[in-house]
Chain A
Amino acid sequence: MSTPEADHSRDPCPIVILNDFGGAYAMGVIGGSIWHGIKGFRNSPYGERRIGALSAIKARAPVVGGNFGVWGGLFSFYDCSIKAIRKREDAWNAILAGFFVGGSLAVRGGRKHMLNSAITCAIFLGILEGVGMMFQRYMAYANKPVPMPVPDGGAAPLSA
């Protein structure tokens, strides 16, 4: 997200919103199927456990997917918009986008709820970006180039 180079594993901006919507939705549906499958199985009486798991998946996995998808898609939408306005890519993009996503999703709960949710989301994304930066710095430290060892036989420069 905050790499200086162009990232060729992601598509350019307006179209990537669809990609993120779909990716987040698929992640939510698959994860929700596992989660609600196990939950429905455990909460059903003996003899109806498989049908219970299936109906729990049918009823709840798409909803989880929808929640994930709307979050990811809105985040991508705001990220792209902020990129277009600020014309730079750094950690503040993600934090601002998280702020707006939190606010947008809580829009029906009133002003106070919106602000709380927006700040929570911004802090969450700030932590995420911070961890990403720390990890990046650690990787750079662990793979830093080592200087060539000086040969033992004294300094013999290439002067003829």
Chain B
Amino acid sequence: MWPFGSSTKKEDVVSGETISTTQITETTPEVSAPQLNISAIPIFDASKLHPLAGLDKDLEYLDLDEEKLSNVEGTGNGILPSRGWSDDLCYGTGTLYVGGLGLGGLYGLNQGLLNLPPGSVDPVTGNIKSAPFKLKLNTVLNQVTKHGPHIGNSAGVLGLLYNIIDSSLDAYRGKHDDLNSLASGALAGAIFKSTSGTKAMAYSTGMMTLAAAAWCGFKRAIN
């Protein structure tokens, strides 16, 4: 039953109602569409109108901002566009892991070059014979592969813990702000050193909170 357009027929049917149909059909073209709540008018029983239109429900808000990738308050000011917690987790962990791997590798390169194997002295002639190239290369590579993955793994675990806790706090509180970041930094640091005693835990918590604060400051500075 279409409510607009057939005013003459309906007047016969509901002539005893408190609001006459003619009045409504006169006002409907003037009322702008979003303010018209059809189900508030007693003549139009929402259950008898088209059921799929959902007229008996409350107002529904459409998401008009299609550029936004996430609906959590405060997101979208990161460096990379993020599709939610999984992107944050992957990029955060990956960046920290690769960064740790590279820094640890450089440190290992330095250590390897400082500790090159000494040359051997020939017992007959007394000449100093330097160690073969393969031995030197092996020393450097051993140092690089010892320190690189160690630092990378530690940084990666910290990033993983931080991002998991941060995304959980975001989902719990419904917004993404610096407080969440600081709290998740502190928690990640505490969990990371949770088996090494209170002092190490406190130290690691402080360091990670500072790192989270630095990250928040960096994000603010570039935005």
Contact = CB atoms under 8 A, between A and B. Distances in A.
Interface of A: 11, 15, 17-23, 25-26, 29, 54-55, 58, 62-63, 65-66, 69, 73, 108
User: Dominant SS at the B interface?
Assistant: helix
Contacts of A63: 149, 153
A55 B86 CA distance: 28
B156 interface: yes
Contacts of B156: 22, 25, 29, 62, 65-66, 69
B94 A20 contact: yes
Interface in B94-108: 94-95, 97-98
6 contacts: A20-B90, A22-B93, A23-B90, A26-B160, A29-B156, A65-B153
Contacts of A19: 87, 90-91, 94
A25 B156 CA distance: 8
Interface string B185-222: 00000000001000000000000000000000000000
A-B pairs, 9 with minimum CB distance: A22-B94, A22-B93, A21-B94, A62-B153, A22-B90, A18-B94, A23-B90, A19-B90, A66-B153
A62 B154 contact: yes
B113 interface: no
Interface of B: 80, 86-87, 89-95, 97-98, 141, 149, 152-154, 156-157, 159-160, 195
B195 A58 contact: yes
B98 A29 contact: no
Nearest to B148: A66
A11 B90 CA distance: 12
Q: Is the interface of A mostly helix, strand, loop or mixed?
A: helix
Contacts of B98: 18, 21, 73
- Among A15, A29, A62, max chain B CB count under 10 A is at A62
A62 B155 CA distance: 10
B173 to A, nearest CB: 23
Given A25-B156, A29-B156, A65-B157, A15 B93 contact: no
A76 B87 CA distance: 16
A108 B145 CA distance: 11
B90 A69 contact: no
Given A15-B80, A58-B195, A66 B94 contact: no
Contact of B97 (A11, A58, A69): A69
A22 B195 contact: no
A143 to B, nearest CB: 26
Contacts of A58: 195
Given A29-B157, A66-B153, A22 B80 contact: no
